[in-house]
Amino acid sequence: MQEVIFLIFSLENIYLAIWIIFVTSILLSKKHPITTMSWLLTITLIPVIGMLLYIFLGINWREVTLINKIKNTTHHSVRSIMISNLVKFNSSDFFGRGKRDKLDEILKNLKLEDETVEIINLIFNTEKTQPNLNQNYEIYYSGKNAFKALKNDLLNAKDSIYMEYYIWRSDELGVRVKEILIAKAKEGVEIKLIFDGLGSFLSIDRVYKKELEKAGVEFLYFLDIKLFMLKLDYRNHRKMTIIDGKILHTGGMNLGLEYITGGDKFDSWRDTNIRVIGDMALYYMAIFATDWLNSGGKFDFNRFEKFILNRSNSINSHPMQVSSSGPDSQWASIKYLYTKCITNAKREIFIQTPYFIPDHSLLEQLKIAALSGVKVRIMSAGKSDNIITHRVGKTFFEELLLANIEVYQYQKGFLHAKTILYDDEVSSIGTCNFDSRSFNINYEINAIFYDKEINSKLKKQFFEDMKYSTKLELDFFIKQSKFKRLTDSFFRLFAPLL
């Protein structure tokens, strides 16, 4: 009996020592106080599982190894070619010197509103990316149209194809794209593909990859979880295709058939992508090149020089700018972009996101805007592919409604679009969800448009989507039982971790 008591006492002391180690690690991680409290509660209330979750999802492994790996790559050659944000750790050291005059010249010619110039300056100061001019664009609100255009552009590629997707499937759509890529590779087109290590884990079969390799199509996994298991929390959520250095496809759509058919769970899939012809493709190409280098590949930067020399003048001049961020970014630039859009708005704000889990600062800014007389409309997925994030997201709706913010839940299939726009001139389409994970942990990328025509089109689509959405009412939440409120409050504790 004494041996049993001694064993229990020893195990308790061992557990206490381990718990103290974890608590110390969490406190020293310099996370946001709310996130810190969430992790402390997780390891305390769910001891073993919580500690494992923190090891895989909470530790900032990037500060120890990921940034060091990125610093070892060579990107000084790009600095002399174009202004971009290839380097996400302190990029101003590489691209920020002597470029302010060029930005001032661009702003003088664009003649934009003062509030718009503030956003351009914000992105420039955090990432050193310049606004650029583009000849043409087309916005797609369905996978059918978006992938039809993508396949057509792939078929007409002459020089290079660079594709990067969080999820890439070897399904019917993936097979068709593979056939096109193999045919273009045989024609001598350079092709490079990046799959996320987690998002595309087990979604591409071996035969598919062998056929790509045999044809000379290069592909790499960004942070392959078989090699970087402890870093599976850092996901490359970007989606882009750059063709011949002049055509860009980007937005919320991964490369999977469900974006066309709705898949097994939904009748349809509502997302937003954009096709751009112009200099925006070069900026995305620079970010692709960074991700390719950080995945262990090599990149011929001479292609930048060729594309820049051969690029056409943008007659229609649609001004755009790219914003990208990740766990190794010096600044949470996309979050700052959203913040600036909210605080700049004078009349109205439109937000579409499948997952709405804002941090405290963004939540307060939205409420302040609405209480100041700005019409704020938020649309999220009424039918979700993630039960937990869907449940947590709904816990924010009551206080939004109390601030006179209109909240809609899209019911015609799954809403996966990630857009924000305000007033008349500024809008954005990208990969960033309205949640802490996208703003602070994932590798994300958004296209920003300083164009009244694009703003108007996105606004028109929002109103169209409202026809298939349920407008939430405050009475629904007021009448909820105390047990429902209690369970919702419990789920909300984990919001900073999602």
Strand extents, DSSP E, 310-400: 318-325, 348-352, 356-357, 375-381
**C-beta atoms surrounding 96 within 10 Å:** 15
Give 71's pLDDT tier (boundaries 50, 70, 90): very low
Give 205's pLDDT tier (boundaries 50, 70, 90): very high
Strand extents, DSSP E, 416-475: 419-422, 426-430, 434-435, 444-450, 469-471
| Mean pLDDT for all residues in the chain | 84
Question: Do 428 and 349 meet the contact criterion of CB atoms below 8 Å apart?
Answer: no
Question: Do 42 and 25 meet the contact criterion of CB atoms below 8 Å apart?
Answer: no
pTM for the model:
0.84
Q: In terms of pLDDT, which residue wins out, 330 or 72?
A: 330
Per-residue pLDDT reduced to its tens digit, 182-191: 999 999 999 9
Kindly state the helix (H) or strand (E) to which residue 218 belongs, with its residue range: strand 218-222
Kindly state the helix (H) or strand (E) to which residue 190 belongs, with its residue range: strand 190-196
Max mean pLDDT range (257-266, 277-286, 365-374): 365-374
> How many alpha carbons lie under 13 Å from residue 159 in its C-beta half-sphere?
13
**C-beta atoms surrounding 450 within 10 Å:** 21
Give the residue-averaged pLDDT of 73-80: 40
Range with the poorest average pLDDT among 47-51, 58-62, 70-74, 383-387: 70-74
Residue 46, pLDDT > 80, answer: no
What pLDDT score does 16 carry? Answer: 73
Question: Do 133 and 279 meet the contact criterion of CB atoms below 8 Å apart?
Answer: yes
What pLDDT score does 82 carry? Answer: 37
Residue 275, pLDDT > 90, answer: yes
Question: Do 275 and 239 meet the contact criterion of CB atoms below 8 Å apart?
Answer: no
- Which are the catalytic amino acids? 237, 239, 244, 416, 418, 423
Residue 254, pLDDT > 60, answer: yes
Strand 444-450, strand 426-430: pairing: antiparallel
